[in-house]
Structure 1
Amino acid sequence: MNPEEIETLRVIGLDLVGSFVAIVNETAWLVVYAVLVLNASTTLLRKEGRSRSSLLTWLAILVMFMITVVLWALDMTTFIMQVKLTLVVNPELSLGTRFANAQSFIFPLIAAIDALYAYLSILGDAIIIWRVWKLKGYYHAWVFVLPLALLLGSIISAIMLTYCVAAIGSDLVLGTFQKPPFCRGVQITTFAMACATTTCATVLIWATTWNYRHSIKPMLVDSFLASDGSTTRRKRSQVETVLVLLLESGLLYFLFFAIQLVGDIPQVKAWIQSHAGVSFAWVVYSYCCSVIVGIYPTAIIVLVQSRHGVLDKAAAASVLASKRHNTTSRAPWSISLDDIEVRPEITSSHDLNSSHNRHIEPHKPADRWEGSLEAY
């Protein structure tokens, strides 16, 4: 072998090893994803909690999972065809020529994977925005104009990417379209829109958490009088735990898209390709991205459904806390949760104190709080 063939063989070996490890890792994540989808499906399709919203959410989750399976199958196809075209087909050709033929076959598949991934991200973002809306932390629709506008931008960029894939899917340099001009950087645009949408949704979750801590939590009975007369603080409530988990997972999801955004910059991509270790890690990371995009919204649904009633109980407790200080004819903790309707307009301790004498409809379950997770 001449030096050129030796270098080509080394590149092929590194590429095949990286792809194999990446597919094994992706398959493991896909199994985890399948378990989450099964869990979410069981929860959303329960007869007692079934609604149009839950059915639509389940349908979106199912479509996302199907797209993820298709992407996994395409990854398997690219790996198998790369091995076949490089090492099996046309053995009379030089190794470099066979490797070039394999790349020519694979590039259109990679472009198709990118397009499907863009639509997968859109579905995930739509579910997340819908979940944030169902938190009911905001009573003005205009608050969601920005995330909806970003979601629309994601749809437009995905359509552009689809056109670029259909028209010139094989004309790629370092994974970036070169012509026509509007196709240059179109994939990085899809990453940027997804990152911006995730950022916006995470900020809304943070605002909901902040509102709970500063407006709702002070009204809850978060301390009790010990037997010796001292006051002991309780641990973080389930409500706060769920909101914090939503916030932290949103931050991780933002970092996930931010890494893709930075990694798709041509200069950064060229640097990654020039370092074998970094390139290997990037391949493994890239292969499992589609599974992670599906796992996050599904995990959010599973998490929230498992704690679906805690915020409603917190809302009821806030009313009980008010009645404890303003009612002497009845022991406050003898009131059943089913006796209380939480008024959504009560957003502060001042409002609560000023409204404790208003009518509270009996025998109706507490079904709403500014940050209620029941709608999940």
Structure 2
Amino acid sequence: MNFREEVRAWLEANLTGEFAGARGLGGPGREHEGHELRVAWERRLGAAGWTCLGWPEEYGGRDASLSDQVAFHEEYARANAPARVGHIGEGLIGPTILEYGTEEQKRRFLPPIRSGEELWCQGYSEPEAGSDLAGVQTRAVLQGGEWVVTGQKVWTSLAHVADWCFVLARTEPGSERHRGLSYLLVPMRQPGVEVRPIMQLTGTGEFNEVFFDGARTAAANVLGASGEGWRVAMATLGYERGASTLGQQIGFRRELQTVIDTARRTGAADDPVLRDRLVRAWLELEIMRFNALRTMTSLSAGEPGPEVSIAKLYWSEWHRRLGELAQAAQGREGLVARGEPYDLNDLQRLYLFSRADTIYAGSSEIQRNIIAERTLGLPKG
């Protein structure tokens, strides 16, 4: 049995019984769905060795090749398995700890990420430091062997269920921009941390504001050297474009097929203009896959190319257009919630949440600047 077959067989055998109802739960705009069940599923994955596949065996991973990691994410998506609750820990802070952490930090933080026992959130954006992350004003000072953190973070996904947050904070008084920042690991369940949900267009609240008012963490919980947080933070962002993107595209393909089926049912597909838009969406999704495969090839060779910069811009703009197509395919029925008080169907939710795709994880404007300056070598605006 090859690796892909092993993944497929395990998912088929385990998405049964108590987890039979977990299929399809969660995801962007739907993170409220079946949270406790999905946490239990995360721990089932961890116990069976299906989390953190690319990590070294020494730290609980499988040292899996990039192609095996892609195979896992593709089969996971094909099985319609529930959206992962531990993806921020596994995909972002875990690799950052592996690269920059001390041995003590690795032994403390990596095992509960791998097992699904501790969940993480990302404390980067602030009201005055979104796309311009270097404008961070959250501050931390050392007092009695602890960092004392004061400030506000915003758009913090899953902060309301997280146990820990990796926080970019200004630790050198008088410093500006990229200098004087530190990358701190801060426990969320303590006095001095307040989480306020931000209501989204979908009626759900997976984004949050987080207020730190004298929150504390041990002096040793700084990743990398104090004052060098910008370098560590940029490394974390580099892990966002990994093997999971090909699994994401299988989800996109499922959504597109639902839009096509809906257009046929409502008669919207009789419109030649809408049919043309559907064909374009299919073609662009194929291009997205080819670009992702090129990205994986360059990453395997250790030589990331311009397609890495293009990926987020491309998929977010495509997915936003798909949301608009979803509304067009539904016609008038897409304009009214199917029940009280605000019971949205999947395509309505797709339309509303996809409006955010071109903003979070780096807005399209910022992505275009990165491509222009770092890939094409154009002068800064």
TM over 0.5: no
Q: Which has the higher contact order (CA 8 A, sep 6+)?
A: 1
TM-score (norm 1): 0.36
Q: Rg larger in 1 or in 2?
A: 1
Q: Which has the higher strand share?
A: 2
